[in-house]
Every structure is written in structure tokens, then in C-alpha cells.
């Protein structure tokens, strides 16, 4: 059994978020001690980590609720849950590909800075060129 502080520190999630997940119904069956403090099981912690994973990869609370409903329905929904996660994976992969394109663009820009750094230091009037733009054109 684990305290809320333990969960917060070890799963890197805020107490406010834990309470929110409870309010939303996606974190259930949380026991309380004699003073009313939440007590988490290993199973609760595993589920919290999975919720966090889904949220941080863009899955909505509504979709998580749907996944949870299907999970609680048992093996009859196995294929449906698997498909749901496959679709989510595709969305994550698309997002990663977009981010990698942005990273390439930034790397190109930094390379242009590196190539022109010496010239700028030697000649403050040097016109910085990158992506078809010149620094004097921006002034």
C-alpha cells in the first residue's frame, strides 16, 4: 500500500491530477486509511502510470474512459481495445514525424548560423542568409 505522496514522487504526477482522475472516474477503487487519506495499491499505481502515458501522448479523458469501460468488460472486448491502442499509436507516430520535420528545420537553421558565425564576428555588416531571407530584409 502506498500513500499519495509516494505515488506523486514515484510516478511524477501531481496530487491534483490524481484527484482529478478520481473525479473523472478513470481512477477507481482507491482505498482510504482511518484518517481518510488515500491508499494506493500496486495495481492502482500501474493503472495511473498507464493513464499518464495515454494522456501525455494526447489521448482524451473520454477515450481513456472508453478504454477503461472496454477493459472492464473483459476479454470480449480484447480486439476492440487492441484496435483502439493501434489507432492511438498511429496518431503518436504522425505527431513524432511532424516533430522530427520541425527538428530538421531547426537543425538546418543552426547549421546556417554555424556556417556564418565567423563572418558575422569579422564583419558586423555581413548580411545573414538563411531560408531565402536576409537579416537586412527583416530590419
Task: Provide the 8-state DSSP code for 77.
Answer: G
pTM value is 0.75
What does the DSSP assignment read for 30-71?
A: -EE-TTS-EEE-HHHHHHHHHHHHHHHTT--HHHHHHHHHHH
What is the arithmetic mean of pLDDT over 106-135? 80
Task: State residue 135's pLDDT score.
Answer: 63
Contact 64, 28 (CB under 8 A): no
pLDDT in tens, 41-87: 999 999 999 999 999 999 999 999 999 999 999 999 999 999 999 99
What is the arithmetic mean of pLDDT over 2-29? 93
**Angle between the N-to-C axes of helices 42-56 and 15-24, in degrees from 0 to 180, rounded to the nearest 10:** 90
* Own/partner long-range contacts of 27-31 (Cβ < 8 Å, ≥24 apart): 27/51, 31/1
Of the listed ranges 53-67, 77-91, 95-109, 111-125, the least confidently predicted one is 111-125
Domain ranges of the chain: 2-105, 107-138
2-105 architecture in CATH? Orthogonal Bundle (1.10)
Amino acid at each position: 500500500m502506498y500513500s499519495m505522496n509516494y505515488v506523486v514522487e514515484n510516478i511524477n504526477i501531481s496530487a491534483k491530477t490524481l484527484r482529478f482522475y478520481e473525479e473523472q472516474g478513470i481512477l477507481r477503487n482507491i482505498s482510504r486509511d482511518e484518517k481518510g487519506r488515500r491508499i494506493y495499491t500496486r495495481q492502482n499505481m500501474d493503472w495511473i502510470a498507464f493513464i499518464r502515458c495515454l494522456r501525455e501522448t494526447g489521448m482524451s479523458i473520454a477515450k481513456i474512459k472508453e478504454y477503461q469501460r472496454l477493459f472492464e468488460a473483459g476479454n470480449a472486448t480484447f480486439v476492440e481495445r487492441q484496435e483502439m491502442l493501434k489507432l492511438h499509436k498511429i496518431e503518436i507516430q504522425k505527431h513524432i514525424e511532424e516533430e522530427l520535420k520541425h527538428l530538421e528545420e531547426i537543425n538546418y537553421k543552426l547549421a546556417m548560423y554555424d556556417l556564418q558565425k565567423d563572418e558575422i564576428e569579422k564583419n558586423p555588416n555581413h548580411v545573414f542568409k538563411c531560408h531565402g531571407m536576409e537579416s537586412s530584409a527583416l530590419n
